[in-house]
Amino acid sequence: MNYFPEEVIEHVFNFIASHRDRNSISLVCKSWHKIERFCRKKVFIGNCYAINPERLIRRFPCLKSLTLKGKPHFADFNLVPYEWGGFVHPWIEALSSSHVGLEELRLKRMVVTDESLDLLSRSFPNFKSLVLVSCEGFTTDGLASIASNCRHLRELDLQENEIDDHRGQWLNCFPDSCTTLTSLNFACLKGETNVAALERLVARSPNLKTLKLNRAVPLDALARLMSCAPQLVDLGVGSYENEPDPESFRKLMAAIQKCSSLRSLSGFLEAAPLCLPAFYPVCQNLISLNLSYAAEIRGNHLIKLIQLCKRLQRLWILDSIGDKGLVVVAATCKELQELRVFPSDLHGEEDNNNAAVTEVGLVAISAGCPKLHSILYFCKQMTNAALITVAKNCPNFIRFRLCILEPHKPDHITSQSLDEGFGAIVQACKGLRRLSVSGLLNDQVFLYIGMYAEELEMLSIAFAGETDKGMLYVLNGCKKLRKLEIRDSPFGNAALLADVHKYETMRSLWMSSCEVTLGGCKRLAQNSPRLNVEIINESESNRMERNEEDERDKVDKLYLYRTVVGTRKDAPPYVRIL
């Protein structure tokens, strides 16, 4: 079968980076499977409970980079209790005691402890890159271990983690000999930062390209940092509540002007609007701008900044920009590929909320930005007509996530449901991979999704649908579906149990506040040895009535996922695995 020696085949395989392609290669024949596994450097595990570390290491002994994801997506919105699971320690222990030369670890929604970080830092002499996204359970002491012990550290990227800040001297723990940093992101740390240590670290890191500061780094320090790192490409600015005095402002402007490589800007936590003009000189080069935490900056200031960003490809912003602001974005940012508009007002019906966005902004963006392929849009209201127009303007959407803030809200002009609008989106966007629907929706929208969304991999449903038929349309229609998450929708056992084998073709299913019952879940679990069916019932009364459980009781939260390693042993008492 092999026309070439193994080394040649291996050499060819090394050009293939995508883990999906790698998985396909390994299925061609036994010989390729064997060659592939020994030269696989990067492994992606979308659900840490689908496999265990021992089997991973046995199959891929030459592993250098591991990506692991723990909790389901809805954990981001406080729907998964704290100790549900996703502990990384067993993985690090197993890797540590094997001979794997780990260089990179990327974790998402996992529980990480200081002990884990310490073990990690001591076990892998060539460790280079640690990326933690939405993780929790550790403190700055763990960071100190990483800083002290990882001699070749290049990347320490902490995104949106819950870190207990002991205000220690973790930045001081980087030895003087550490000069290899390319990326440092500690924006999510809440405590004080040793600014002097930070300045020394940046000064001795000539390859530093990404620097994202936390709120404790003041304006004058920023100016000094930028002065000794003019090579920065990606900058996250801290918090500037007070307007800068003219001298500080002048110094900042001078430093910024030297940063000709700057392409990405973020941060601006609690920023005073008058700091923005210091960044005007670099706007023309920016391809990415994240102002989604800049809650204090009003629309008009944001607009002035964005008007200068003609090359922008990615924009994350709050809805305080308003429809008017989005019209400006549409006119200015012709290269825009990804837009996220987040809500700035959590209390809902504020009368004076002229600044929130509506269908008007969305339509303007779709008309003005031909390269747009990903959108996340939180808005007050929507219409079918607008969605139909958006679908016509942008048939290239890969990700379309619309969140109308008020559940069950219909088309605000016709008072009809939004089934036709979303139907137009899935029909036009043949490459759609991710979809979130909202507003008043019946079963019809799911019929459309099942019929047209052939490439759909992830679907999020909230407060939608009428009967089990809705969920069935999706399960029967979307052949490439990998993740389905549903909350507060009237789908029950009939939909859940119709095609149990479907779930083995998917990564996971989440259903909360729906109509599925304990009996239905038990039946599902009985027929599926390769699925873990987890019931999360947090309320006290449910726990006490365990002895007289009623199969007709509705289940609070159901999370099921395929696995080759059976039931996990680390679940807390309120998680029942059937």
Footprint of other proteins (CB under 8 A): 74, 76-79, 134, 160, 162, 188, 269-270, 273, 292-293, 295-296, 298-300, 342-352, 355, 378, 403, 405, 407, 462
The CB-of-409 to other proteins minimum distance in angstroms stands at 12
The CB-of-315 to other proteins minimum distance in angstroms stands at 16
Residue 418's alpha-carbon distances to 65, 86, 384, 386, 446, in angstroms, are: 44, 37, 6, 10, 11
| Residue closer to other proteins, measured from CB, 379 or 578 | 379
| Residue closer to other proteins, measured from CB, 106 or 380 | 380
Render the burial of 276-299: b for 16+ CB within 10 Å, e for the rest. bebbbbbbebbbbbbbbbbbbbbb
d(CA 398, CA 9): 33
d(CA 25, CA 2): 13
The CB-of-87 to other proteins minimum distance in angstroms stands at 20
| Residue closer to other proteins, measured from CB, 206 or 407 | 407
| Residue closer to other proteins, measured from CB, 403 or 518 | 403
| Residue closer to other proteins, measured from CB, 54 or 350 | 350
The CB-of-190 to other proteins minimum distance in angstroms stands at 10
| Residue closer to other proteins, measured from CB, 170 or 293 | 293
The CB-of-29 to other proteins minimum distance in angstroms stands at 44
The CB-of-270 to other proteins minimum distance in angstroms stands at 8
Tokens 């800049």 label which residue? 294
The CB-of-23 to other proteins minimum distance in angstroms stands at 30
Query: How many beta carbons lie within 10 A of that of residue 29, not counting itself?
Result: 12
d(CA 477, CA 455): 11
Render the burial of 201-226: b for 16+ CB within 10 Å, e for the rest. bbebbeebbbbbbbbbbbbebbbbbb
CB 237 within 8 A of CB 271: yes
Residue from 315, 307, 258 nearest 283 by CA = 307
Helices (H) and strands (E) in the chain, counts: 21, 23
Check the CA dihedral 116-117-122-128 and report its sign. positive
| Residue closer to other proteins, measured from CB, 504 or 538 | 538
| Residue closer to other proteins, measured from CB, 188 or 233 | 188
**Strands 531-536, 575-577: parallel, antiparallel or unpaired by DSSP?**
antiparallel
The CB-of-339 to other proteins minimum distance in angstroms stands at 16
